[in-house]
Structure formats: structure tokens, C-alpha cells
Amino acid sequence: MAGEAVAFPAMPADGEMLNRIFLALAVPALLALLLPSPAIAADDGASIFAQACALCHTPTRRSLDKKRLTRHEWEAATERMIGYGAQVPKAKLPELLNYLVRSHGPASGPPAKK
Ligand code: HEC
């Protein structure tokens, strides 16, 4: 019994090969499960903006850089954008609004030069 493949006991002659393929697929899949995904783990407003808004709003296309809106206005706009298909998880909305008001609110001064 000693030299036989453990994972596939009834495997034909090329069981060893399949075992390797299995490992090659299983190891990355396991790592993906164990390591936190940056897309899910990142929970600050700027990264939510990057994920949910930046595909339609870039500095050069439909830019929001010069916008200075109140929290209420950002909220209304974001609700409208969700209607356009923006993917903002409900739980992340306050964080996104915090970011927008902080960086693009009435008190955040003239648009930053980048
Ligand atoms: C699917 C593309 C798309 C996504 C994603 C998107 N937007 Fe928009 N956005 C638009 C379009 C198109 C307009 C212009 C039409 C309008 O104002 O309704 C717009 C307009 C706006 C405006 C008004 C701009 C103005 O000049 O008054 C704001 C503010 C805004 N978006 C914010 C956001 C925010 C914040 C997000 C992320 C939560 C976002 N958008 C995601 C397409 C998008």
C-alpha cells in the first residue's frame, strides 16, 4: 500500500499525474480562500470609490474632481448612480459618503492640484 496515491485510491496508472494536477489546482484555490481578498478586505471610502465609481468617472472622463457637494447631495447622486449600475454595497455607503464629503465636500477647499 505504501507507494500508492492516497487521494485517488482507485486511480489507473497515471494517477500520479492526476494527483499533481489536482494539487496544482487545489493549492491556489485554497490560498485564495485563506488569504483575504483585497477587493473585499479594503474598506475605506477611497477604494470603494475606485471600485464603484471610477469605471465611469475618471479624472479625464466625466470627472468629479471639481465637485463640491454636501453629504446629502453626494448621497442623492450615489443613489442615482446605483440606479445606473454602480456597485455600492449598502453597508459601505456611509464609508463612501464619508470619503466623498472629506475629499469633495463644501469644506474641502478648491480642487486639489494633482
Ligand atoms: C455606470 C456608469 C457610472 C457609474 C458606475 C457611476 N456614475 Fe456617476 N454618472 C454617470 C453618468 C452617465 C452621469 C451623468 C448623468 C447624470 O448626472 O445623471 C453621472 C453623474 C454623476 C454625478 C453628477 C455630476 C454632475 O456634473 O452633476 C455625480 C456626483 C456622480 N455621477 C457620482 C458618482 C459616484 C459617487 C459614483 C460611485 C458610487 C458614480 N457616480 C458611479 C455614470 C456613472
Distances from the Cα of 79 to the Cαs of 29, 43, 59, 67, 102, in angstroms? Answer: 36, 19, 21, 16, 18
User: How many domains does the chain fold into?
Assistant: 1
Assign residue 46 the CATH number of its domain.
1.10.760
Residue 19 within a domain: no
Residue 66 within a domain: yes
In the reported structure, the alpha carbon of residue 41 is separated from the centroid of ligand 1 by a whole-number distance in angstroms of 25
In the reported structure, the alpha carbon of residue 38 is separated from the centroid of ligand 1 by a whole-number distance in angstroms of 24
Residue 21 within a domain: no
Residue 11 within a domain: no
pTM of the model: 0.70
pLDDT tens for the chain, residues 1 to 114: 566 556 666 656 677 776 776 667 776 665 565 555 444 444 589 999 999 999 999 999 999 999 999 999 999 999 999 999 999 999 999 999 999 999 999 988 877 655
Ligand 1, pocket residues at CB < 6 Å? 52-53, 55-57, 62, 64, 67, 77-78, 80-81, 84-86, 88
Distances from the Cα of 46 to the Cαs of 11, 65, 71, 83, 96, in angstroms? Answer: 51, 13, 15, 20, 7
Residue 45 within a domain: yes
pLDDT of amino acid 65: 93
Residue 10 within a domain: no
For residue 94, the enclosing domain spans 39-104
